[in-house]
Amino acid sequence: MSRTIGRALTLGVYLVSLTLTVFLFPDRAQGETPAHEHTHELPNAAYGTAAHDPAPSQVPDRIILTWKTDPATSQAVTWRTDTTVEEPTVEIAPAEASPRFNIELQKVAAQTERVTTESGHALYHSANLTGLTPNTIYAYRVGSGEIWSEWFHFRTATSGPSPFSFVYFGDAQNNLLSLWSRVIRQAYSDAPKASFMLHAGDLINQAERDVEWGEWFDAGDWIHAMVPSVPSPGNHEYGENAEGKRALSRLWRPHFTLPENGLPGLEESVYYLDYQGARIISLNSMERTKDQIDWLENVLKDNPNRWTFVTFHYPIFSTKEGRDNKTLRDSWKPLFDKYSVDLVLTGHDHTYGRGQNLPKGAGKKVGGTVYVVSVSGPKMYKLDPTPWWSRAAENTQLFQIISVSGNTLQYKALTATGDLYDAFDLVKSADGTNQMIEKAPSTPERRHINTIGAKE
């Protein structure tokens, strides 16, 4: 079979399966309405799909930066090839304006894992590059033998507090190459110096479907290889294991090389890292949530950083009608309050909502954790009619840029077209409380009734 015919067949199968997905793979979270019963959800198939070839080859693809250890002195990189590749290697050197920077080249052998999916057999390679110099630009490439990727750059973190920014995405999930691509590319356009990109779960729709993972990587393309990712799993990263039990996708850990400092058994989904004066904590809202309480308290209690951000998938306060994650809220929110967590960044509800100092009221200006629910992909729900938020949106693809400098945090939510939709500053006082300074634009909140392409 020719590669052209193969691509056509792959695309045809994908279109059929994508249409069926809405009916065959409802959300399975406790207390959650099945996907096909969401009366205000647009059918996934309505958006169309972009052509994509998921087959691996000798040429490295799905190249992505993450962290496994200290961001100031290390950088993890992961990539995929077909099974003919031997001796996968990372070549790395301090970047320089001269093209001869590779005179100082070092070679690092990668670890390899074999995975079989509907796309065929593939090898996933990973390396943790250690012993790096803080606040330094490095050039690297991955490959083997005569076949290599292009050269990419990354910068290590500083060894102490320093200004930085990052991008936060809610659910990408559907039509990734077709429609989520414009969001991550707009985000990079608006925040090209972002230190990392945080993904609050549901990166894809079907946990074990390799073609969807391929679309997620293609949507970000070389951005993934230049800007490190900090991902947390959502319910759509969960499928069934060989014993027929619900489990984290077997494609999660091969794709991402993450810290293993979390709860045993939840490695690389529960973890934390420190970045230039901030602690970033990933929790797993999908399983063993009560088991994470003691671990979370220890990580929050023994925290030398000025800022603390927590991310996971299910919201503490939901924006979609009929959802209420009470068990999660009862388990984790007391610790967020006790240890003055600054931001909690979540997804799942396919709308936007932002509020502070809950449940006492979003109007209080001093103190209290800020909770955000957001969505970056094209799947949209209706907002809960009982608001807890200061600013909300329906039917809107968004991304958020969060910038930290000393005692000030600047937050901006922007639309897929780069328009400012929400904004505020947090100014931290000596006692650790935050003053909220509202900067949201005066434009009307976006709703299904006043936006294109959706009906009441």
The CATH number of the domain where 109 resides is what? 2.60.40.380
Compute the chain's Rg from CA coordinates.
21
Q: What does the alpha-carbon distance between residue 7 and residue 5 come to, in Å, rounded to a whole number?
A: 5
Q: Which domain holds residue 92?
A: 61-155
Residues 6 or more apart in contact with residue 181 via CB below 8 angstroms: 50, 218, 219, 220
Other C-beta atoms within 10 Å of 365: how many?
A: 12
- 1-5, 212-216, 338-342, 411-415: the lowest-pLDDT one: 1-5
Strands 196-200 and 61-66: unpaired
Q: How many domains does the chain have?
A: 2
Whether pTM > 0.85 for this model: the answer is yes
Predicted confidence at residue 7, as pLDDT, reads 37
394 and 318 within one domain = yes
15 lies in some domain: no
Torsions phi, psi for 372 (to 5 deg): -130, 135
Predicted confidence at residue 236, as pLDDT, reads 98
222 and 352 within one domain = yes
* pLDDT(45) > 60: no
73 within 8 A of 132, measured Cβ to Cβ: yes
* pLDDT(17) > 60: no
Q: What does the alpha-carbon distance between residue 151 and residue 145 come to, in Å, rounded to a whole number?
A: 16
Q: Which of 17-31, 35-49, 90-104 has the highest mean pLDDT?
A: 90-104
Write the DSSP assignment of 129-160 as a string of letters. Answer: E-SPPTT-EEEEEEEETTEE---EEEEPPPSS
Q: Give Cα 169 distance to the centre of its chain.
A: 6
236: CATH: 3.60.21.10
Nearest-5° Cα angle at 345, 341 to 351: 140
First to last CA, the chain: 47
215 and 83 within one domain = no
**Per-residue pLDDT band at 125 (split at 50, 70, 90):** very high
* pLDDT(111) > 70: yes
126 and 71 within one domain = yes
215 and 82 within one domain = no
Predicted confidence at residue 402, as pLDDT, reads 98
**What are the residues facing 373 on neighbouring strands?**
346, 353
**Per-residue pLDDT band at 455 (split at 50, 70, 90):** low
**What are the residues facing 143 on neighbouring strands?**
89, 148
